[in-house]
């Protein structure tokens, strides 16, 4: 049985105080017990949110990015060691906004994934196609390439620590959600690809999240798909009531 997960990506939103209040509200909310909740906070919030959640087995903290080097003259960046020292357990990598605005490639993300794993942290690897790619019918090939280049350098042992998030770029922050069938089709393809590379048992135990305008009103239908193991949620993770409603949609 694979882990069901509701992950939030706060992006560059919420002051420090607002972030702590949101973490506190989610920590104290009535939540389904078997769902792993991950809060992807801005770097500056990591330590404070981790402190609030330090005794929680169900609510964990993620950074939204890290640098590929362990330390050095990289002004404004944060290292994996810094992230780990805050108490965070996860790092979101390869988000489409990082790919688009910071030119991150699969090769660079693959390097970061290796580094994150070597520090005992777990990557949440984002992949997904832009609209013209889907319209050209090339979305499955593109995502297969992202998954192969981003992740398939890992040993089977390391691969099992990875969470995958399929996030069609045309659905992120647009209010346009992939249909449950579109999400299921892609998730099935990703799982088949994993089975071909690492075997059926590992494929069956890999959590694959859907991201792209997940809201309380559509989460249940998406999460009901057999290969959709939860969501990576942007906008709707910024308010406790909407995010808790999503957590309770499985």
Q: Is residue 179 part of the contact set for ligand PEP (CB under 6 A)?
A: no
Q: Rounded to the nearest whole angstrom, what is the least distance from the CB of residue 221 to ligand PEP in the complex? A: 15
Q: Rounded to the nearest whole angstrom, what is the least distance from the CB of residue 110 to ligand PEP in the complex? A: 20
Residue 109 to residue 90: CA distance in whole angstroms: 15
Q: Is residue 212 part of the contact set for ligand PEP (CB under 6 A)?
A: yes
Q: Is residue 234 part of the contact set for ligand PEP (CB under 6 A)?
A: yes
Instruction: Encode burial over 144-160: b for 16+ CB neighbours within 10 A, e otherwise.
Output: bebbeebbeebeeebbe
Among 37, 59, 164, 233, binds ligand PEP (CB under 6 A): 233
Which residues, other chains included, contact 202 with Cβ-Cβ below 8 Å and sequence gap of 6+?
Answer: 156, 159, 160, 194, 195
Q: Is residue 232 part of the contact set for ligand PEP (CB under 6 A)?
A: yes
Interface stretch with ligand PEP, choices 17-25, 64-72, 106-114, 230-238 (CB under 6 A): 230-238
Among 4, 9, 123, 154, binds ligand PEP (CB under 6 A): 9
Binding positions for ligand PEP, rule: CB under 6 A: 9, 11, 167, 172-173, 211-214, 232-236
């Amino acid at each position: 049985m694979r882990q069901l997960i509701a992950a939030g990506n706060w992006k560059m939103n919420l002051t420090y105080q607002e972030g702590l209040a949101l973490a506190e509200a989610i920590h104290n909310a009535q939540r389904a017990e078997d769902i792993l909740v991950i809060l992807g906070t801005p770097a500056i919030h990591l330590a404070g949110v981790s402190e609030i959640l330090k005794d929680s087995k169900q609510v964990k903290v993620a950074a939204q990015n890290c640098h590929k080097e362990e330390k050095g003259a990289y002004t404004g960046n944060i290292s994996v060691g810094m992230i780990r020292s805050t108490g965070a357990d996860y790092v979101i990598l390869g988000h489409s906004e990082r790919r688009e605005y910071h030119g991150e490639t699969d090769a660079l993300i693959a390097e970061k994934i290796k580094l994150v794993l070597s520090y005992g942290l777990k990557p949440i690897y984002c992949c997904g196609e832009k609209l013209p790619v889907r319209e050209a019918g090339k979305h499955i090939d593109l995502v297969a390439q992202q998954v192969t280049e981003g992740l398939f350098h890992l040993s089977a042992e390391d691969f099992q620590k990875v969470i995958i998030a399929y996030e069609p770029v045309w659905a992120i922050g647009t209010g346009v959600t992939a249909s449950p069938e579109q999400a299921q089709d892609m998730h099935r393809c990703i799982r088949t690809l994993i089975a071909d590379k690492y075997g059926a048992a590992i494929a069956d135990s890999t959590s694959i999240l859907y991201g792209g305008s997940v809201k309380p009103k559509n989460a249940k239908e998406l999460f009901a798909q057999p290969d959709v193991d939860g969501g990576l949620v942007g906008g709707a993770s910024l308010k406790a009531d909407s995010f808790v409603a999503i957590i309770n949609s499985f």
